[in-house]
Structure 1
Amino acid sequence: MSDSENTPKKTKVSLTDKRRNARQYTLQALYQWQMAKQPVNEIEAQFRVNNDMGDTDVSLFSQLLRGVTAHCRDLDQAYSLYLDRSVEDLDPVELAVLRIGSYELLHRLEVPYRVAINESVELAKIFGATESHRYVNGILDKLAQTARAAEVIAKRGR
């Protein structure tokens, strides 16, 4: 047997998977930021050192983490119109997921609104409470109706 037969083949990670990994790390970093109130640059440095980010879009991780924390109040204000409770009463995981989804809807226009919502719903399914993905979906869908009105209308017209 040759060495190449004994060496496990490394599968190539898709860009979609790298972005999904970035969102997952961002969620975890935001959770830490929300709970520990550490400076975001310290949290980002910790994540880069303590995690193997070889299969992660590190640039997206940084952009989301820094963007969400920089625009936190505006994001909270944007989606809070659709909440059935105050922002302070949200579960910390739901809060972080809503902030990521809202940031993508409002500041990453190159990301289709359905992708922004679906990725947030997936985060809520993995990390959130049992039905939190439904709640996140409803809130972000309503936000998309105003934040991405032209895109939503164009999708429905097809």
Structure 2
Amino acid sequence: MRNRSPNEQQQFISRRRVARRLAMIGVYQWLVTANSFQDIYQYFQQDIELAEDFRKCDAAFCHQLMRCGIENADLPGLIEPFLDRKLAHVDMIEHAVLRVASCELLNHPETPYKVIVNEYVNLSKKFGADQAHKFINGVLDKIAAQTRPLEFRPRNTDRNGALS
């Protein structure tokens, strides 16, 4: 990763944050309508309100997260072990957040899991039910522990788990 100026870094973070929000909205739209990824993604580029945000986001990142959130058939198997019910019975906003966040945890190891969890907790605070962020935080921490075991190892152990 190249070094960025503070201004470039802030723009990068902002573009990623907008991409996460749009990907979550796209997956939510898919849950509600069952439209294809292509239809939803095209709609985002053409809708007057969404198109303005779309121009401000990291489009490739948004595309990848939204596509994974919609098309990855393995996501329920990753998420459901940490739920007390089927993923299909989770509120649609929280469902969309969990799908997109899981995709980022799986496919973007360059982003620390704590950053990912924080970003999606904030999305759930903005769009979810009153206490949804607590639910999202708990589930994503468990998914992150499973998908990012090296980030969870105790500080006094090496990569193999041996005490140092």
Instruction: Please state which band the TM-score falls in when normalised by the shorter chain.
Output: 0.7 to 0.9
Corresponding residue of 2:78: 78
Corresponding residue of 1:117: 117
- TM superposition shift of 1:38: 0.7
1:128, 1:18 → 2: CA distance? 22
Of 23, 26, 30, which residue of structure 1 is paired with 2:27?
30
Work out whether 1:157 is the aligned partner of 2:144: no
1:68, 1:27 → 2: CA distance? 8
TM-score computed with the length of structure 2 as normaliser: 0.83
- TM superposition shift of 1:25: 0.8
Corresponding residue of 1:63: 64
Corresponding residue of 1:142: 142
2:68, 2:37 → 1: CA distance? 11
SS at match of 1:123: helix
Q: Point out where structure 2 has 5 or more consecutive residues left out of the alignment.
A: 1-6, 157-164
- Counterpart residue type for residue 61 of structure 1: C
CA RMSD, Structure 1 to Structure 2 (Å): 1.7
Of 8, 11, 16, which residue of structure 1 is paired with 2:13?
16
- TM superposition shift of 1:141: 0.3
2:126, 2:81 → 1: CA distance? 25
- Counterpart residue type for residue 107 of structure 1: N
- Counterpart residue type for residue 118 of structure 2: N
Corresponding residue of 2:161: none
Corresponding residue of 1:128: 128
- TM superposition shift of 1:54: 2.5
> Runs (4+) of structure 1 moved beyond 6 Å?
none
Q: Point out where structure 1 has 5 or more consecutive residues left out of the alignment.
A: 1-10
Query: What are the superposed Cα offsets for residues 56-90 of structure 1, whole Å, 9 maximum, x if unpaired?
Result: 1111111111122221x311111110101221210
- Higher Rg: 1
